[in-house]
Amino acid sequence: MKNFFLATSCLAVLTLAGCQQSQPALPDLDAEPAVTVATPVDARPTIQDAREFLQQAEADIVDLSLRAARIYWVQANFITQDTNAMVAEVGTEVAELSTRLANAAKRFNDVTLPDDMRRKIDMLKRGSNFPAPDRPGAAQDLSEIMSRMDAVYGTAKFTLPAAQMAKAEAIIGEDADGELEQFQAVRLMAEARDPDLLEAVWSGWRTLAMPYNSGHSQLIGSASVPGNMSNSYAMADDYSGMVSLINEGAQELGYADAGNLWRAGYDMDADEFATEVDRLWGQVSPLYDQLHCYVRTGLNAEYGDDVVPLDQPIRADLLGNMWAQSWGNVYELVAPEGAGEGVDTTALLEAQDYDALKMVQTADDFFVSMGFDPMPETFWERSLITKPEDRDVQCHASAWNLDDIEDIRIKMCTEVTGEDFNTVHHELGHNIYQRAYKDQPVFYKDGANDGFHEAIGDMIALSITPEYLVEIGLLDPADVPGEDADIALLMRSAMDKVAFLPFGLLVDKWRWQVFDGTLSPSEYNDGWWALRTEYQGIRPPNDRPDGAFDAGAKYHIPGNTPYMRYFLAHILQYQFHKAACDQAGFDGPLHRCSVYGNEDVGKRFNAMMEMGSSKPWPDALEAFTGTRDMDGSAILEYYAPLMTYLEEQNTGQTCGWSTPQ
């Protein structure tokens, strides 16, 4: 996101940027927002008018941002009816400010401005990714809808039929008291191998987005909602209401719809951007297709033809992940025979008595080894690193910067696993980026594009190689896998990274269709599954009941986070990694390269990050990689040995899947 004022839901952003040098006492929430931007219409505006407008706009943004960021932080860590109300109230202020500034910025459309001023004006004009219409009450309506959806997601629990609940409790090793929370459901999806239980858990979580009086509970259980919600709450109704509001707001700003507004934020024409992401997908889709074919064959061997037919898309509940967006949790079901042993990072962490805090400290040490300053003391004092036992929190991992200077934090219900070991590196990467551009004007306190922000930490995670694990004392040198284990290492990685690519692409492709009216509310679910089948080759495990809104079971839909950033990040992280390894003079296979301890790479990387969004993203990309084009060739180079292996293994297999018409 561009910074805090450009988001009406802080839970949807990764950088919650306030921009004040000091931290004043919190003002009264009932006070009128301090918005003083004037929009005279009786004279042709001048460059000086634009300059004064931008100065005042920055002051107004700074005035609101820190207070709002603190409120959102508290709500994410203490989800109650009161904090939900506070978020809705301050969200209204943010939406009103963003809408007012965006409409005021239109006054300078025909003024010839210096490039820097034009860039700032255009950023303001794009306003929020979720712009409220400029009419009384609209901002409040939008804020209430968005905070309500987020609260439902953050606190939802669900039940299962008794027989399935008994199976679930046996796996998680605890009495669930009749209801399962999201973290328990995610664990069950990762560990269970009973197709009936997997279907029940998968379907049960999706009751959170459905009308609770729809009668579907007889088949798949039912969900509970926060105490201030109606028992007949239907997320799809709220979502369609939100779409109407933000489309109206986007059209007032001169965009065809909200999707057009989103695509316009990439320093290119909106339609050109849609073509660009299709080009990138075309580069990498052959690798995904081979992985899909191989994994489906392995699942067929485990579950049989009735559960995994070889000529159909894969059931979404069988891939080890609640959203089938990454498949690493079922690696042992398809592990290459005779390919050597990989590294079980979870076992290494447990053997060395790592806890959540030590995992975060290790990630911080990685960045320090590249020449970055360590996290400040306030990071350790104020971050939420483990899940509290006494309250509801939003467990989705995120990185925050409350004052956009040094008050950087993470919020994460960290578990001692290899997956979370990677995630803490990713989240600290956001913090490092946030701190790098802290001296930029408020308008530029963000990544070059939103994919950059996501790619930074993931690029570092690519350096978590066996050699790196030796460096930090987690792995004995004698246990470093040889080259014969490369296929196993790459397969495990690809089942998370490569498997994610089409999901990262289709989430916003679905929203673009929702925003432009291609999909009506009654078609939301069918459209969702049409795209998931087309791009991912997966299908739901059962016929979806009337009222299903399966997209809402993914955090980023009710949490209102644009998702294309994650697809771009999965391209850019490999492009960054290759550039870093070239700079380091590494001459081995790309997947064996680690830049741990390389301060020269750190300096060049920091120089790119310090630019923030002050220049078009091709300028920032060129500063570090030497090219102005995003390119999927680095990911193909990284997995080249695996691609050869997959093609050999898939010889004679039936690959591909049919797409519904």
Count of Cβ atoms closer than 10 Å to residue 473 Cβ: 10
Task: Identify the residue whose tokens are 């300078």.
Answer: 108
Task: Name the DSSP letter for residue 539.
Answer: E
DSSP assignment string, 232-275: T--HHHHHHHHHHHHHHHHHHTT-SSHHHHHHTTSSS-HHHHHH
pLDDT at 601: 96
Count Cα atoms within 13 angstroms, Cβ side, for 180.
35
List the single range of 127-131, 227-231, 564-568, 572-576 with lowest mean pLDDT.
Answer: 227-231
> Can 577 be counted among the known catalytic residues?
no
Task: Name the DSSP letter for residue 505.
Answer: H
User: Which is the catalytic residue, given 302, 335, 396, 623?
Assistant: 396
Residue spans of beta strands (DSSP E) within 322-460 = 398-401, 408-411
Domain parsing of the chain, residue ranges: 4-151+245-255, 157-224
pLDDT at 253: 86
Q: In terms of C-beta density within 10 A (0-12 exposed, 13-18 middle, 19 or more buried), how is residue 93 classed?
A: buried
User: Which is the catalytic residue, given 454, 548, 563, 596?
Assistant: 454
- What is the C-alpha separation between 126 and 134, in angstroms, rounded? 14
Residues whose CB falls within 8 Å of the CB of residue 165, separated by 6 or more in sequence, listed in order: 159, 176, 178, 180
- What is the C-alpha separation between 406 and 437, in angstroms, rounded? 11
- What is the C-alpha separation between 355 and 349, in angstroms, rounded? 8
User: Which is the catalytic residue, given 190, 256, 397, 640?
Assistant: 397
Count of Cβ atoms closer than 10 Å to residue 220 Cβ: 24
Task: Identify the residue whose tokens are 């700032």.
Answer: 120
Helix (H), strand (E) at residue 223: strand 223-224
Task: Identify the residue whose tokens are 């109606």.
Answer: 230
User: Which is the catalytic residue, given 216, 425, 426, 577?
Assistant: 426
Residues whose CB falls within 8 Å of the CB of residue 173, separated by 6 or more in sequence, listed in order: none
Residue 182, pLDDT > 50, answer: yes
> Can 648 be counted among the known catalytic residues?
no
- What is the C-alpha separation between 150 and 559, in angstroms, rounded? 5
Task: Identify the residue whose tokens are 């009654």.
Answer: 522
Angle separating helix axes 270-303 and 486-515, nearest 10 degrees: 130
CB 578 within 8 A of CB 595: no
Task: Name the DSSP letter for residue 1.
Answer: -
pLDDT digits (tens, 9 = 90+) for 440-482: 999 999 999 999 998 988 898 899 999 999 999 999 999 998 8
Count of Cβ atoms closer than 10 Å to residue 431 Cβ: 27
> What are the distances in angstroms from CA 621 to CA 431, 483, 624?
19, 32, 6
User: Which is the catalytic residue, given 566, 574, 596, 645?
Assistant: 566
Q: Is 559 helix (H, G, I), strand (E, B) or coil?
A: coil
Among 386, 443, 380, smallest CA distance to 406 is for 380
> Can 396 be counted among the known catalytic residues?
yes
- Average of per-residue pLDDT across 52-74: 93
- What is the C-alpha separation between 529 and 544, in angstroms, rounded? 10
> Can 570 be counted among the known catalytic residues?
no
> Can 427 be counted among the known catalytic residues?
yes
User: Which is the catalytic residue, given 556, 570, 577, 591?
Assistant: 556
pLDDT bucket at 154, cuts 50 / 70 / 90: confident
> What are the distances in angstroms from CA 633 to CA 279, 291, 427, 528, 659?
12, 17, 26, 29, 27
What is the largest distance, in Å, between two alpha-carbon atoms of the chain? Answer: 78
pLDDT digits (tens, 9 = 90+) for 378-413: 999 999 999 998 888 888 899 999 998 899 999 999
Task: Name the DSSP letter for residue 158.
Answer: E
Q: What is the value of pTM for the model shown? A: 0.86
Alpha helices per DSSP H over 483-545: 486-515, 524-531
pLDDT bucket at 603, cuts 50 / 70 / 90: very high
pLDDT digits (tens, 9 = 90+) for 535-568: 999 999 999 998 899 999 999 999 888 999 999 9
> What are the distances in angstroms from CA 187 to CA 168, 274, 395, 512?
10, 35, 14, 31
> Can 233 be counted among the known catalytic residues?
no
